[in-house]
Chains A and B, each alone.
Chain A
């Protein structure tokens, strides 16, 4: 049991040290929605291959692109289908989240 505790403590400490954001208030809804995008756009918004990265995009640009996908003014393969499923407020939340990723 002592060993179990020691292991838990080591990990709580080691990983806690890596997550510097823990003290700030986190928009958990935005965090989840953004994580949802990762299976195509890569973990933390950093893509491998032809699909664009989202990390660090300027918020206004992100929101404008999502709206352009939704109304069809920016041609797309899959993105119109995704853009049509989200609200404007969610575009703003996602844009803020990805803008903050480095």
Chain B
């Protein structure tokens, strides 16, 4: 791995004052130690958190992050942008603090992974070696599973399931829609990123339409047989605020309606049953673990969709020294931002223990908390504590997804509340700070 002078200067600039001077003059005795290199691909909730906690818990580990995007854009609370309650700048954050926390930052895209030689290649031509590789690339959307959802169609039909320009465009489309228009949105088959997200999206878009365009309709085409998350709470919110169950309901919910095709000219979504016309169409295609997981040969569950991992380290069950975080993994966890953040810490804790010649925690306990907004001022949650059970391994000794067991007592809110909306806002600020090292 080569560093040019510019990179060296950039890295030097990240270290301030006396500490860096001390390091230059005082640490010559450790010069025979070979650096232990962890390379993290992707600085989302999983990868960024993992990097920060690795450096906090074991500063001797040399951490490199490879991330193509200039800024962090948060999926959680991005539905608020669609409602006009949140601005893109409210969910967009600098990587500057994270850059200072790690050893090397590479703004680039990974194009190849050699797990035998333990190197990663980037589009920019760099070859970066690792002792441990951490893949935190989130999800890959499978547009080819929806007929007609090609590059041209993607200019008109947004998924907005990776927050960013797609989110901003979908908001503009909703703003441009006339009163009396129809917003058609879809829910992919579970498991998918953010289980309550689509139903929250319906709430948030309805919040906006109720005020600005009250004659409009929302049609939810759900590939699943039923509401996949927080069902009772969403039904109650739709009923209370958006007329669900009456002839004038703003929201029409259609289960078992997987979008099979899209037509951006006729503005239609085709399902098994019929063609549904919309003024604004928002189709979220099926998804699988990020493409980098395929490059490393770890996207290898029975359908080559997700990555089986060992819960004690988040190392791939089949490829040594490759760990996978967050939404890409095959686990019992919901694919949430909170879980991605915590999987970063689980992997960091295990790697630090192994680096220091100790065994990782054999029975980690970890939680998920996930808030959804039902209106512009109310929200509700689901919360679960998970505990790893060493007994729940397969006959061959391999860890199974079922080995992480939801503890009794977990579940959802009794009802929506303003207090939980305040907690949701606080959660977002804290998880952003925890992930990116933002100052208080």
B194 at the interface (CB under 8 A from A): no
* Given A19-B59, A77-B419: A11 in contact with B3 (beta carbons within 8 A): no
Q: Indicate if B387 sits at the interface (CB-CB under 8 A).
A: yes
Looking at B8-16, B175-183, B235-243, the stretch in contact with chain A turns out to be B8-16
Q: Of B19, B35, B384, B430, which is within 8 A of A13 by CB?
A: B19
Q: Are A39 and B427 in contact (CB under 8 A)?
A: yes
* Cβ–Cβ < 8 Å partners of B103 in chain A: 7-8, 11
B431 and A85 contacting across the interface, CB-CB below 8 Å: no
B422 at interface, CB cutoff 8 A: yes
The answer to the question of B62 belonging to the interface, with a C-beta cut-off of 8 Å to chain A, is yes
CB of B130 closer than 8 Å to a CB of A? no
B366/A49 in contact, CB under 8 A: no
- Name the interface residues of B154-190: CB closer than 8 Å to any CB of A: none
- Which chain A residues lie closer than 8 Å to B3 at the CB level? 3-4, 7
Give Cα distance in the complex from A40 to B56, angstroms.
19
> Chain A residue with minimal CB distance to B16?
A14
Question: Does more than half of chain A's interface fall in helix, strand or loop, or is it mixed?
Answer: helix
Is A65 among interface residues, defined by CB-CB distance under 8 A?
no
A85 touches B26 (CB 8 A): no
Determine how close the nearest CB of chain B comes to the CB of A76; give it in whole angstroms.
10
Interface residues of B in 385-440 (CB under 8 A from A): 385-387, 407-411, 413, 417, 419-420, 422-423, 425-427, 429-431, 433-434, 437, 440
- Type the 1/0 row for A20-64, where 1 means its CB is closer than 8 Å to any CB of B: 000000001101110111111111001111110000000000000
Can you list, as one digit per residue, whether each of B322-340 has a CB less than 8 Å from chain A (1) or not (0)?
A: 0000000000000001100
On chain A, the residues within 8 Å of B387 by CB distance are 85
Answer whether residue B345 sits at the interface, using C-beta atoms and an 8 A cutoff. Answer: yes
A80 with B423: CB separation less than 8 A: no
Q: Collect the chain A residues with CB atoms within 8 Å of residue B265's CB.
A: none
Contacting residue for A77 out of B407, B417, B430, CB 8 A: B417
| CB within 8 Å of B: which A75-91 residues | 77-78, 80-86, 90
Among residues of B, the one whose C-beta sits closest to the C-beta of A49 is B426
A9: nearest chain-B partner, CB-CB: B27
Interface size on B, residues (CB 8 A): 68
A83 to B407 CA separation, bound complex (whole angstroms): 10
CA A32 – CA B31 in complex, angstroms? 31
Looking at A12, A41, A47, A86, which has the most chain B CB atoms within 10 Å of its CB? A12
Whether B430 pairs with A81 at a CB distance below 8 angstroms is no
Q: For residue B119, give the distance in angstroms from its CB to the closest CB of chain A.
A: 15
Task: Report the number of A-B residue pairs with Cβ-Cβ less than 8 Å.
Answer: 176
Nearest CB on B from A28, distance (A):
7
B426 contacts A50, CB within 8 Å? yes
CA distance A32 to B437 in the complex (A): 17
CA distance A80 to B369 in the complex (A): 12
CB atoms of B385 and A47 under 8 A apart: no
Given that A32-B345, A33-B365 are known contacts, is A39 also in contact with B385, CB under 8 Å in the complex?
Answer: no
Whether the pair B23, A77 counts as a contact (CB closer than 8 A) is no
Instruction: Give the shortest distance, in Å, between B314 (CB) and chain A (any CB).
Output: 13
In the complex formed, the residue of A with least CB distance to B11 is: A7
- CB contacts (< 8 Å) of A78 on chain B: these are 369, 381, 383, 423
Complexed CA–CA distance, A40 and B411 (Å): 17
Give the shortest distance, in Å, between A18 (CB) and chain B (any CB).
7
* Chain A residues with CB below 8 A from B28, complex form: 9
Q: How far is the CA of A16 from the CA of B413 in the complex (A)?
A: 43
Provide the residues of chain A in CB contact with B366, threshold 8 Å.
Answer: 36
Tell me, in angstroms, the Cα distance from A14 to B429 when the chains sit together.
Answer: 28
Q: How far is the CA of A80 from the CA of B384 in the complex (A)?
A: 10
Q: Of A10, A42, A80, which is within 8 A of B15 by CB?
A: A10
Residues of A within 8 A of B364 (CB): 32
Which single residue of chain B is at the shortest CB-CB distance from A85? Answer: B385
Residues of B within 8 A of A29 (CB): 361
Beyond A11-B62, A43-B433, 20 additional pairs, beta carbon < 8 A: A3-B8, A7-B3, A7-B103, A11-B15, A13-B22, A15-B59, A29-B361, A35-B53, A40-B430, A42-B434, A48-B430, A49-B430, A50-B422, A50-B423, A50-B426, A77-B420, A81-B383, A84-B407, A84-B409, A85-B407
User: Sorted from nearest, which 7 A-B pairs have the closest CB atoms?
Assistant: A85-B385, A13-B23, A84-B409, A49-B426, A15-B59, A85-B407, A48-B429
Q: List 13 A-B contacts (CB under 8 A).
A: A3-B8, A8-B35, A8-B62, A12-B23, A15-B59, A18-B19, A38-B434, A40-B369, A42-B440, A81-B383, A81-B384, A84-B408, A86-B365
